[in-house]
Amino acid sequence: MKFDLPTPGWSFELLATLGKARAGILHTPRGDIETPVFMPVGTAGTVKAMTADELRAPPLDAKIILGNTYHLYLRPGLEVMKHVGGLHKFAAWDRPILTDSGGFQVFSLAALGELDDEGVTFRSHIDGSKHRLSPEISMEIQRVLGSDIAMCFDQCPPGDADAATHELALARTTAWAQRCRVAPRADGQALFGIVQGGIDTERRKRHMAQITAMDFDGHALGGLAVGEGIADTYRILDEVAHLLPAARPRYLMGVGTPQDLTHAVAAGIDMFDCVMPTRNARNGYLFTASGARVNIPNAANRLDTGPIDPECPCHTCQTHSRAYLRHLYQAKEILYARLATLHNLTFYSRHVRAMRERILADGERA
């Protein structure tokens, strides 16, 4: 079952369902993206420690990566991006890119000077310089970056925000989504709306109705990795994810562990991003198919000549031992970050693809 999306050249094909879980293909002008899909995070124009060729090569074979409006606006800046012709050319990446709008980073990293209905005035976390970000400015930055998927600028309250804060954030996010929708975009650039609402189910459903009525190319659930308990995250996913329009890709922002992804796919989510595989790799934590997480600095790995995971086909596991990786980590060698990141990203990619294969094998054809 294939659905044309509002942006020309884009469509979403639903292939099979297994309960609420879905397997599909997001067809884009820069290539097909099989869903469910995990999208490596390249915040500042790079997936940390990885080259574009390493990301493209099997078995990782990343079909889409992320960039971030806030970070790329501050550094290297729009003058550079305009000069080089956008993020794809700058990073030598020829597959799709999704850019976050910068809203989450403004609220989590920057020292806020002013938040109002028009946008946010903030100070850079790099040098303290003062800047303004609004729906129109966010969309202009994403237009210059030339990302394939732009995200609407939204207000993301913390997990412990009170009801009044959530209601104000919902009103602003809806109004800002309407402004993003009419702002100029790069040719062929799709736009996703973001549903907020915290851990209140009725508030989530109410905001979902407002956002989905605008007929975006896709829809995201935001505000579910901002300090709320995991039980509440799972409850909201179970209660609202499957209510997002079936004819559009569904994106869960910034989540999470392999277990989180498993739960979210079962709830009906199609797209994921998270810094966990890359950040954990750099900090010595490596994922395995058995579910046990390897803490590479542990002394138990000093004489271990086996791979991180004997079931993993990545270059790291096929070539290097835990003992060698522990040595690189202890010696603070740059190579450690590359080898560990490649493994963790490959694990995440294979984890999500295995769920896709099961849906296709055991599910009902759409």
Report, as residue numbers or ranges, the catalytic residues.
100, 273
Distance CA 55, CA 53 (A): 5
Residue with tokens 């294969």: 357
8 Å CB contact between 44 and 254: no
| CB-based contacts of 160-167 (< 8 A; 24+ apart in sequence) | 160/227, 160/228, 161/198, 163/200, 166/196, 166/197, 166/198, 166/200, 166/203, 167/203
Query: Cβ contacts of residue 279 below 8 Å, gap of 6+?
Result: none
8 Å CB contact between 103 and 119: no
Distance CA 155, CA 166 (A): 9
Alpha carbon distances (Å) from 259 to 126, 170, 264, 348: 34, 29, 9, 11
C-beta atoms surrounding 234 within 10 Å: 17
User: Nearest-CA neighbor of 207 among 166, 179, 247?
Assistant: 166
8 Å CB contact between 325 and 301: yes
Distance CA 15, CA 224 (A): 27
Which residue type does 22 have?
A: R
Q: Which residues pair with 24 in a beta bridge?
A: 14, 35
Query: Cβ contacts of residue 38 below 8 Å, gap of 6+?
Result: 261, 272, 273, 274, 348, 349, 351, 352
